[in-house]
Amino acid sequence: MHKKLLTSHQIKPIRIGALTLENPVILAPMSGVTDLPFRRLVKKFGAGMVVSEMIASQAMIRECRKTMQMATRAPDEGLMAVQIAGCEPDVMGEAAKLNEDRGADIIDINFGCPVRKVVNGHAGSALMRDEIHAARILEATVKAVKVPVTLKMRLGWNHENKNAPRLAKIAEECGIQMVTVHGRTRCQMYEGQADWSALRAVRDAMKLPLIVNGDICDMNDAEQALEESGADGIMIGRGAYGRPWLLQQAIDYLRNGVTTASPTLDRQYTTLLEHFDAMLTHYGSHAGLRIARKHIGWYSKGLTRSSEFRAAVNATDDAEKARELIHHFYASLPEQVA
């Protein structure tokens, strides 16, 4: 354990309506990744809040089975936001209400998704190009529920149109209670580096709690992102791939100035097994194994002979065999050097 000098970039609890986010270190919504098994695990390690995969509001109100599964919460995942996307104010309101009734603590609205299918349907980051319509969606959603509604967006559509500060102000006026900004434009997709300092203009435009997101993968990133953006908290996505403990490490660092070591390989093994079993239970063994493969790849990345291990896991359709492969792989690793 290593203790650093405390800086001014410490995190403090955030109030969102009647809720208190004790540690504003949030797991980012990621389709295909932040399902219930992963959210529970990240929460168990100590995340301040977790967010569901993006839920299409139309599918939600049609009560599609897969969509309902994505929006289902567990009692032990702590503060949990369901993220909804769509472009029809009434439908967004209805979807928000359904999720409130199903136990969501917070409704998060997606104005950030850059994917063509979503944008062509005038949802996700496409809404950043139409501030009047965006306001209608925000108002309708806030009006439909009692729980707090938050907003996640990008810096803007492209370099010439970085209107996140204006939209954040609009969001505040519409009753939104927290804003998260991914420091890229829609046209950047995932290219280049997230621009944390660009959030300063958002900070200055409104008084709501502000969360900085994009490319936060270690303690230095966490500290620098807060310092450059002036945000109140951080949101971590891809950095938590295969490292559900990362958010707790970030909390320890930002709260107490303590760098906690990553878990031993033994603990990593038991964490992966717990995650693997949870995926099999949640999806059934066939779909569970298919979804588990990418997580197994992330946990084992960089470990000795991990590519052979991944190839073997990818080659089997038998969950029990995959379990054995996981066991043998971790058992064969040399002890971790602290």
Residues 58-87 within binding reach of ligand FMN (CB under 6 A):
83
**Span near ligand FMN by CB under 6 A; candidates 9-17, 95-103, 232-240, 307-315:** 232-240
Per rule CB under 6 A, is residue 93 in the interface with ligand FMN?
A: no
Give CA separation, 118 vs 121, 243, 245, in Å: 5, 29, 31
Q: How many residues bind ligand FMN (CB under 6 A)?
A: 22
Cβ 272 to ligand FMN shortest distance, Å = 19
Per rule CB under 6 A, is residue 236 in the interface with ligand FMN?
A: yes
Exposed, middle or buried, 14 (CB in 10 Å: 0-12/13-18/19+)? buried
Work out which of 46, 165, 209, 239 binds ligand FMN, going by CB under 6 A.
239
Per rule CB under 6 A, is residue 14 in the interface with ligand FMN?
A: no
Q: Are strands 258-259 and 2-3 parallel, antiparallel or unpaired?
A: antiparallel
Cβ 241 to ligand FMN shortest distance, Å = 9
Work out which of 14, 25, 54, 61 binds ligand FMN, going by CB under 6 A.
54
Work out which of 9, 17, 19, 31 binds ligand FMN, going by CB under 6 A.
31
Work out which of 37, 237, 242, 244 binds ligand FMN, going by CB under 6 A.
237
Work out which of 35, 53, 221, 252 binds ligand FMN, going by CB under 6 A.
53
**Span near ligand FMN by CB under 6 A; candidates 6-14, 25-33, 169-177, 274-282:** 25-33
**Span near ligand FMN by CB under 6 A; candidates 86-94, 203-211, 214-222, 321-329:** 214-222
**Span near ligand FMN by CB under 6 A; candidates 30-38, 196-204, 262-270, 304-312:** 30-38
Give the C-alpha separation, 79 to 77, whole Å.
7
Q: Are strands 106-111 and 149-156 parallel, antiparallel or unpaired?
A: parallel
289 φ, ψ (degrees, to nearest 5): -65, -40
Q: Are 167 and 131 in contact (CB under 8 A)?
A: yes
Cβ 243 to ligand FMN shortest distance, Å = 12
Closest-approach residue to ligand FMN (CB)? 237
Give the amino acid at 295: H
Q: Are 127 and 111 in contact (CB under 8 A)?
A: yes
Cβ 83 to ligand FMN shortest distance, Å = 6
308 φ, ψ (degrees, to nearest 5): -65, -40
Catalytic pick from 64, 113, 174, 187?
Answer: 113
113 is catalytic: yes
> CB neighbours of 147 closer than 8 A, spacing ≥ 6?
17, 100, 104, 105, 106, 107
Binding mask 105-144 for ligand FMN (x = CB under 6 A): -----x-xx-------------------------------
Please give the distance of CA 42 from its chain centroid, rounded to a whole number: 10
List the one residue out of 319, 257, 255 whose CA is nearest residue 286: 319
Pick the closer one to ligand FMN by CB: 283 or 329. Answer: 283
Helices 131-144 & 89-101, crossing angle to 10 degrees?
Answer: 30
Pick the closer one to ligand FMN by CB: 211 or 278. Answer: 211
Cβ 110 to ligand FMN shortest distance, Å = 5
- The maximal CA–CA distance of the chain, rounded, in angstroms, is 59
Cβ 226 to ligand FMN shortest distance, Å = 14
Give the C-alpha separation, 216 to 238, whole Å.
8
> Token pair for residue 66?
């897969």
Residues 152-171 within binding reach of ligand FMN (CB under 6 A):
152
DSSP of 104-126: -SEEEEEE----HHHHHTT-GGG
Q: Are strands 25-27 and 19-21 parallel, antiparallel or unpaired?
A: unpaired
Q: Which residues are catalytic?
A: 113
* Site residues for ligand FMN per CB under 6 A: 28-33, 53-54, 83, 110, 112-113, 152, 182, 213-216, 236-239
